[in-house]
Amino acid sequence: MRVPGVDRIDFSGVHNRRTPVDSRAHHPTCAHVSDSAESDV
């Protein structure tokens, strides 16, 4: 039971960082980085 719990938190963190929209809403300062990533894609 402890494994899934930790995995869920880890996934959430990675997902937030991978999601440009989420990152922008959570970290407006990261908007510049998000823009660069979006351009790359």
End-to-end, the C-alpha distance of the chain in Å comes to: 37
- The pLDDT value recorded for residue 7 is 55
Model-wide pTM > 0.85: no
* Average pLDDT value for the chain: 54
Rounded mean pLDDT, 7-34: 54
**What are the angstrom distances between the C-alpha of 22 and each of 6, 8, 27, 29, 39?**
21, 17, 8, 12, 17
Tokens 């790359």 belong to 40
Rounded mean pLDDT, 1-26: 54
The whole-angstrom separation of Cα 37 and Cα 1 is: 35
Helix/strand number for the chain, H first, E second: 3, 0
